[in-house]
Structure 1
Amino acid sequence: MSAAEEALRRVLAEVFLESLSALDPARLVAEALPPRPPEGARVRLFAAGKAAAAMAQGALSRWGDSIEGTLVVTVDGAPTDFRGLDLRSAPVVLRAAHPVPDERSVAAAHAALAQVDGLGPKDFVLALISGGSSALLVLPPPGLELEDERRVVRALLEGGAPIHDVNLVRRHLSRIKGGRLAAAAAPALVQTLALSDVVGGALHDIGSGPTVPDPTTAAEARAALARYAPAELAARLAPYLDDTTEQPFPTRTEAHLLAGPEDFARVAAAHLSAGGFSVRIDPPEGGDARDVVEKRLAQAAALAPGSAIVVACEPTLALPPVRGRGGRAGWVALAALKKLPPGVALLCGASDGTDGSSSAAGAVVSSGAAGDFDATRIDAALAGYDDAPIHRALGTAIDTGPTGQNLTDLHILARVFPEN
C-alpha cells in the first residue's frame, strides 16, 4: 500500500470521529432546551436508545435541579457518566439487549410506563429518543410473549427487511411503541427530542416512535410481515397487529428532530472540504448491500483526484442462520476492497461504534491494504459473513467502542490528491 493511500485512510477515519464529536448528543439536547422548564410543572425525564445517556446528560446539565425523576434505558456497553451535574435526584439507568430484545427489554418498558404515570395537566415529560429504542422497550399485546417478539425481529432482520418495515411491525405489536407511551403520560405535556438513525425516516420511525403519533396501519404491517417473515410466523402474528391505542392519542405533545443521517453526512463533508477535498454529498440511501458495493465501485472508478463522496447509507443484508462475526459496514468495505482503484479509499462506519457482531465501528479500506493477503480467505469471509477477523488481520477495522451516538452508517469515498 502506498504512503498516500495509507495517509488517506487515516484522514477518513479522523473525519468519521470528528463528525461524531461535532454532533455530540449532550450538546444538541442542551442547546434545544430553554433555560428553565415550564413554570410550576413536575418534570420527569425519560431517555431511551443508544444515545440515551448522552442525551440525558445534556438535559440534566440544563435542568438537573428541576427534574424530579430520570430514567435512562440504553444498550450494554454504552457509556454513562452523570458526574459533576447539579441533580435533584440520581438517574436510574437500565440496560437491555439489541437488536433482539430480552427480558430486560420488557422490564424497561414497564419502568418507562411507571415513569410517566400519575401526572397532571400542569406536568411535563421530556422524552429523549434515539435509535435502538425499539429493542430496548418491548411490551407485546396480550396473547403474545417475548419469544414471539424475538422471533419476528430475527426473521425480519435476517430476511433483509429495511428498518422502516422492521419498526412498522414492531409498532403494531406493542403496548408502548407507536405513541402509546405518550398516551400513558396524558394529560401531561410530552416533548420529544429525537436523534434519527433511519435513512429518510420520520419521527415515528425512530425507536418505533413511543411518544409520537403513528400514521401507519396494521394492514401495512401485515404486508411487511408477508414480505419478509416465514408464512407460519406471519399468520400467527397477524391477528395481534393493532391500529389503535387504548386511549386517544394526546394532543399535548411536541416533537423535534435534533439531527439525523443527513446532518452526519453534511458535517463529514465540511471536514473533508476544510482539508482541501472537492466533496459531493449524495442523498441518503438504503438497498441491498451487494448493490451498494457495486455502486461504490462505480463511483470510485469515476472519482477524480482530490475528490470525495459522502453518503449516509443503511444497506440491508440478508443473513443465514449460521454466520461468522461481522456487520453490514464491514461486509461492504471488505467486498469492495480488492476492486477499488489504486489511490482510492472507502470508509464504511457505523455511528454507534458497533457494526453488527464485529465489535468494531466498521472499516476503512483501499486496494493496497490487502497486500498479498490470501484472496480465498476474503472470499470465504464474505460468503460466511465473517468479515470482522479479516479486518482485524488487515488492520482496517475502525475501533471506537460504543460511541453513545446513533446516526446510521456513513460511507466516504476519496481519492488521493494529484501529485505536483
Structure 2
Amino acid sequence: MSPQSPAYWSDQQVRQFLHSLFEEAVASVQPSLVLAGMLPEKPKGRCVVVGAGKASAAMAAALENAWPDVPLEGVVVTRDGHAVPTRHITILEASHPVPDARSESAAQAILKAVSGLGPEDMVIALISGGGSSLLVSPVQGVTLEEKQSVNKALLRSGATISEMNAVRRHLSAIKGGKLAQAAYPARVETFVMSDVPGDDPGVIASGPTIFSSATAAEALHIIERYGIELPDSARVALFKEAETEKKRTQARQVNGAVHMIATPLQALKAVAEKAEKAGVASLILGDAIEGESAAAGVVLAGVARSVRQHGLPVAGPVVLLSGGETTVTIRKGEAAGRGGRNTEFLLAAAQALAGEAGIWALAGDSDGIDGTEDAAGAIITPDTLMRGQQAGLSASDFLKGHDSYSYFSATDDLVITGPTMVNVNDIRIIFIQ
C-alpha cells in the first residue's frame, strides 16, 4: 500500500479531507446549480415570487438569473446575514430561530403580494428550512409575543422538527397551505429545499403553500406529550381549530405543483462520490437520523469502532455518512451553555470513542449555523479528549452543561463557514483509516 494511501494520511491531511467533503455537500445543492432545470413553462400573466427560509434569497437570485426575460416581482424573507443581491425581487431579513416583528411584517408583505391574482398569473414560492420563524402571522387571538414564547418552548422541548412545525402550522394564518389559498386562483409552483427527515414538503417551513394532513388535534397531542407550556390564547386557538376541522366539508382550492430541488440525500451522494474519487470507500447510513444528539453520537461512535476493529460493516479507509436532524433537549433545571446539535453529537462521540486511533469525524449544519452559534459544527480527532484534558477541560462537564461549542472553541476544532445559502440539514462524516 502506498504511503500516500488514505490509510496513512496524517491528522492534517484527514482534517483537510473532511473539510473538502463538507464543502462538497454544500456546493452540490446550491440554488444556482439545481433550480434552473426544474422551472415550469413561463406564465402568460404576472409572475409573483414569494418565499421564506435560509436559502430563499439565494433561490430568488438563481431564479432571476434563469429567467432574465420574465418581469418578476415579489417578496422573499430570509435570516439575518443571508440576503443576496437581487434586481427585481425584494429581499427582507428577520430573526431565526425565534421570530421577531420583522417576521410578522414579512408575512403581511407576502400575503399582500399574492392578493388579487387571476388564473393567468403564477406564484413561485421558494421555500427552505428556517421559514417557520421567518414567516409569522399568528392566528386571531394570539399575539406575536405569545407566538415567540411558543417557539422558545418548542425549541427547548426535545420535539422533532416535524412535531414543532405541526404546532406552528395551526397557530399561523399563513402556514399549512394558507398562503396558497390566499393566492387562488393563480397557479402556485412551489420549489423546496429540504431540511427535514423524509423530505415532506408540508413540514419544511411549516408548508405555507401545502395543506398538511396533520391536524390541530395532533398538535395538541404533541403539546401534551412534551409537557409544553402554552399561553392560554394559543391553547384556545388550537382547540378552536380542532373543532373546525371536525366540521369542515368544503375542499380547499389550490392550483399548482411542488418541486423538490435539493435534499439531504442528494448532498450525501455528492460527498460519497468525492470520497471515492480520493480512494476512500463510503457508506451512507441514512439521511433521516433523528433522536437525541448525544445518544446518536454514542451509537455512531460504536459503528465506527466496529469498522476500525473488525472491518464491519465495511473495512477502512472509509467514510460513514449520515444526515437528518438530531435534538438537544434542555430539561427543567439543566444548565444551557453554548452549543448546537452537531457539536453535542461530536462531544458525545469523542467520549464514546475514548481516544480510539484512526477515527476522525466532522459534523455540521449545511446552512453554516449549528443551533444559534456562528459555527457550522466541529471536528473530532483521536486526541480530542487528550488535548481537552491538557487544557484543563472536562468533556463530561461540558456535555452535561450542553456547552459543546465552548469545548471545541477552546480546542480550536470549530468549523466556521459563515452562511452557506443552502439548507439540507446536518451533514455527518466519520473517517476511519
- Give the TM-score normalised by structure 1: 0.92
Q: State the secondary structure of the residue aligned to 1:363.
A: strand
Deviations 1:115-135 (A, max 9, x none): 101111110001110001100
Structure-2 residue corresponding to 1:237: 234
Q: Give 1:273 shift.
A: 1.4
Q: Give 1:3 shift.
A: 6.3
* 1:45-56 alignment runs, 5 A limit: 45-56=49-60
Structure-1 residue corresponding to 2:121: 123
Structure-2 residue corresponding to 1:366: 381
Structure 2, unmatched stretches of 5+, are: 1-7, 308-314
Structure-1 residue corresponding to 2:30: 24
Structure-1 residue corresponding to 2:63: 59
Q: State the secondary structure of the residue aligned to 1:27.
A: helix
Structure-2 residue corresponding to 1:397: 414
| 2-structure distance, mates of 1:77, 1:390 | 26
Structure-1 residue corresponding to 2:254: 251
Match of residue 10, structure 1, among 16, 35, 40: 16
| 2-structure distance, mates of 1:151, 1:355 | 21
Please say if residues 312 and 409 of structure 1, whose CA atoms lie closer than 8 Å, have aligned partners that are also in contact. yes
1:264 and 2:267 are equivalent in the alignment: yes
Structure 1, unmatched stretches of 5+, are: none
Among the aligned pairs, what percent are the same residue? 37
Please say if residues 45 and 67 of structure 1, whose CA atoms lie closer than 8 Å, have aligned partners that are also in contact. no
| 2-structure distance, mates of 1:260, 1:81 | 25
Structure-1 residue corresponding to 2:291: 287
Match of residue 355, structure 1, among 327, 345, 370: 370
C-alpha change, 1:106 and 1:248, in structure 2 (3 Å) is farther
| 1-structure distance, mates of 2:382, 2:93 | 40
Q: State the secondary structure of the residue aligned to 2:208.
A: coil
Q: Give 1:380 shift.
A: 2.3
Please say if residues 180 and 211 of structure 1, whose CA atoms lie closer than 8 Å, have aligned partners that are also in contact. yes
Please say if residues 334 and 387 of structure 1, whose CA atoms lie closer than 8 Å, have aligned partners that are also in contact. yes
Please say if residues 124 and 188 of structure 2, whose CA atoms lie closer than 8 Å, have aligned partners that are also in contact. yes
Please say if residues 327 and 356 of structure 1, whose CA atoms lie closer than 8 Å, have aligned partners that are also in contact. yes
Please say if residues 5 and 344 of structure 1, whose CA atoms lie closer than 8 Å, have aligned partners that are also in contact. no
CA RMSD of aligned residues (A): 2.0
Match of residue 159, structure 2, among 139, 156, 161: 161
Q: Give 1:50 shift.
A: 0.3
| 2-structure distance, mates of 1:343, 1:62 | 46
* 1:200-349 alignment runs, 5 A limit: 200-230=198-228, 232-233=229-230, 237-241=234-238, 242=241, 248-283=251-286, 284-303=288-307, 304-320=315-331, 322-340=335-353, 341-349=356-364
Q: Give 1:179 shift.
A: 0.3
Please say if residues 156 and 229 of structure 1, whose CA atoms lie closer than 8 Å, have aligned partners that are also in contact. no
Q: Give 1:209 shift.
A: 0.3
C-alpha change, 1:129 and 1:211, in structure 2 (3 Å) is same
Please say if residues 5 and 368 of structure 1, whose CA atoms lie closer than 8 Å, have aligned partners that are also in contact. no
Return the letter of the residue paired with 1:132. Answer: G
Q: State the secondary structure of the residue aligned to 1:174.
A: coil
Q: State the secondary structure of the residue aligned to 1:388.
A: helix
Structure-1 residue corresponding to 2:310: none
Please say if residues 310 and 411 of structure 1, whose CA atoms lie closer than 8 Å, have aligned partners that are also in contact. yes
How many matched pairs?
Answer: 406
Q: Give 1:45 shift.
A: 0.8
Return the letter of the residue paired with 1:381. Answer: F
C-alpha change, 1:109 and 1:229, in structure 2 (3 Å) is farther
Structure-2 residue corresponding to 1:99: 97
| 2-structure distance, mates of 1:364, 1:115 | 44
Q: Give 1:191 shift.
A: 0.4
Q: Give 1:376 shift.
A: 4.2
Deviations 1:161-207 (A, max 9, x none): 00010000001111000000000001100000100100114110010
Q: Give 1:77 shift.
A: 1.1
Structure-2 residue corresponding to 1:377: 394
- Give the TM-score normalised by structure 2: 0.89
Q: Give 1:79 shift.
A: 4.2
Please say if residues 130 and 406 of structure 1, whose CA atoms lie closer than 8 Å, have aligned partners that are also in contact. yes
* 1:171-210 alignment runs, 5 A limit: 171-210=169-208
